Amino acid sequence: MKNILIIGATSGMALAVARKYAQRRNRLFLVARDGKKLTTIASDLTARGAEKVATFELDVNDLANHETMLDSVHKSIGDIDIALIAHGTLPEQKKCEGDVNLLVKEFNTNTVSTLALLTLISNKMEARQRGTIAVITSVAGDRGRASNYVYGSSKAAVSTFISGLRVRMKQSNVSVLDIRPGFVATPMTQSLDLPERLTASTDTVAKDIVKAIEYGKSIIYTPFFWRYIMLCIKTLPLFLFNKLKL
């Protein structure tokens, strides 16, 4: 039985992961901004077999409340075995190009809050000499593209942070996983015209995440073929890349 913290628990991918862990009779602590949704999800997970489900309503941009949330985790389910950081937004590129305040807001949500949580959680796991931290980033962070470089760079910053943190945490028997999904059918992407053959279900992604955590992986692309798609994009010569409308 594991004690599992899920931040951004109302998101499509996080919920799918939570359901898989509930079926294995784990203890879950769910964090999100929408308290009503959390209550509904908690009932669903309990019905699916979770040993215990506790919730905490949090705006991740309220950095001062992060420590309070983690104290609540300890009181509710004990020391964290697995922490999944899954919150985030998908900003509109054009709006961010014309609004600096919106740009900063998106970076605060997707990047700054994540780095703050990573620091607090990793320090606690380092002190205990065990644990797993998993973070949902994105294939968009692999190379800046004109169509979504605000979102992509916010995720790239997290991946770079994770890369260094992973090396540091290796000394303490703490695993750090960078999860890079491609197109996934979630409420956040429902307004986008995604190619059907390249778009995964949340259940498919959740299976990959749970398996990667179990095997102590460092980086996963999900579904797997995105590793090869992004390898092609990353290795394109600059003169050719600049001509493409990606």
State the Cα–Cα distance between residues 125 and 81, nearest whole angstrom. Answer: 8
Least Cα distance to 6 among 85, 114, 109, 107 occurs for 85
Q: Residue 115: which CATH number? A: 3.40.50.720
User: How do residues 5-51 score in pLDDT, each as one tens digit?
Assistant: 999 999 999 999 999 999 999 999 999 999 999 999 999 999 999 99
Domain count, the chain: 1
CA dihedral 18, 138, 152, 102 (to 10 degrees): -10
Which secondary structure element, helix H or strand E, spans residue 67, and what is its range? helix 66-77
Total-model pTM: 0.95
Residue reference for tokens 């931040």: 7
Whether the per-residue pLDDT at 243 is higher than 90: the answer is no
Q: What is the pLDDT of residues 137-146, one digit of tens each?
A: 999 999 999 9
For residue 211, the enclosing domain spans: 3-242
Q: What is the pLDDT of residues 173-205, one digit of tens each?
A: 999 999 999 999 887 776 666 777 888 899 999
Element (H, E) at 133: strand 131-136
**Res 159: pLDDT:** 99
pLDDT for 187 equals 75
The residues, any chain, with a CB within 8 Å of residue 115's CB and separated by 6 or more, are 157, 158, 161
Measured CA distances, 242 to 44, 101, 141, 162, 237 (Å): 47, 28, 17, 28, 9
